Chain A
Amino acid sequence: MGTNNMADNKKLMLRAGLVLGLFSLVGIGLVSFTHSITHEKISENERLFVLKNLRELVPESLHDNDLLANSLHVSDPKVFGNEQEVTLYRAFKHEQLVAVIASPTAPDGYNGSIKLLVAIKENGELLGVRAVLHHETPGLGDAIDTNKSDWVHSFNGLSLLNPKPKSWRVKRDGGVFDQFTGATITPRAVVKTVLRTLQYYQKNKEALAQTAGATNG
């Protein structure tokens, strides 16, 4: 009697396992099939999305290379203050560096990190700054978005010489940048990271311009 029961149980378990396995296979099949018909479109979407953001900062008329093909991944804890990996997109015209777009992350936003794009002209002047991903409070910290306020445009044309590094702070900290009503932490984080990106560029300027021939194409 007892052995019979055990045999029955074994059969039931085996059957249950097989049915479960079968459904896993069907599920995997469905997901793989969808993946196979969508993955090209998805990677194209992602490429275009990055490119659209880059184009806003460095118009196509300024360069003649593929921005995405000339990207580099760097990290410099001494300048950025953390281990983050920063992607650099470089714009060349006639093999001459015209601009670098860096994608640093400001780790100290009010609600976590703020992903930025910082475009620097070859001479060290800022072409523009954009916040591409953040979770700042709607109505307060999200004024870093271009569709909420013009604040990020106040970086245009600035460099390490203008204003002096000491003034690369929000007004409350004795600098030149406006803070928002009710939100100082967000602009403070952005200003700090933009400054660090400029310093990184200053430090690595020659190297970034030189590798042109090697990676062009």
Chain B
Amino acid sequence: MRPQFTRLRAAVAMLLALALSLGVVACGSSDDSSSSSEEGSSSGAIVSNSENAKVSLTIGSKNFPEQEILGEIYAQALKAAGYKVKSDLNLGSETVAHQAVKSGAISGYPEYASTALTSFFGIEPEEVPAGATPAYEKAKGEFEKEGLTAFPPTPFASANAVGTTTKFAEKEGLKTISDLEGKSESMSLYGSPECRQRIDCLAGLEKYYGLKFKSFHPVDIGLRYTVLEKGQADLSILFTTDPQLAAEKDKFVILEDDKEVFPAGNVIFVSKKSTVEKAGPDYEKTIVEVQKGLTLEVMQELDARVELEKQTPKQAAAAYLKSAGYVG
């Protein structure tokens, strides 16, 4: 009886501690927002403008950690600039987010230029411009036809990639995706369910590289490293910004996309034109300013905080804004 009792008490104590710390965090963050709107001008690079308090914004994102971190960064920066900001992260796939911004359900969300071009505007992956600026210009032009405005791109770019364990790559002599020719028939590939039919994923590997795999297995995006670690997958579709690639360099590798089937995409923030006009000049200024520090290394570091260290996207975003000097 006794040991159970103590265990129960310990559990209750832990719950209490948790509740307390949550309370502290909640107090802390509400203090933050009120202080940043008053003193933001003196302590951080983002200046709070009382004019902006009239404007309510809802920032969205797609449904994976990197997107949620980006959504939080934009939302917190805009809040620091004095806007009334809500966030509606984890919206689902790009089609859902795209519809949401067009319908006005959200004010804006971050999208990869390459995804926008292939998924929304039917452009073949090989025709997606390689450079960040031309890709952005092209996407911007297409978005404009829909009444949407795209702000300039982030420094970092993300792309799909075929990844595997270093061990497997060495054993099979794989450096590029072309090296898979003649070998892929005996290899299993794992990727998100949508990957199977996407031209910037399995469909592209089949079409442009002429590869056939022993099997393709759909898995949740969150399992992309688990299946490699468990030895279930020979190959798995990864992202070039994955923190695992930086943190565990000797464990995982990505194969070079020598035929450029997976276009790299810098992130562009997409909003409705009317939203941009209503929100005033600080809207674009804040967004462009706050993403300046988002290099590949920084993005990997932020992804690592969330995916490996299990911080919330909110915490990771707040840490970024603070350490980069955007808020005091």
Do these two chains really belong together in a complex? no
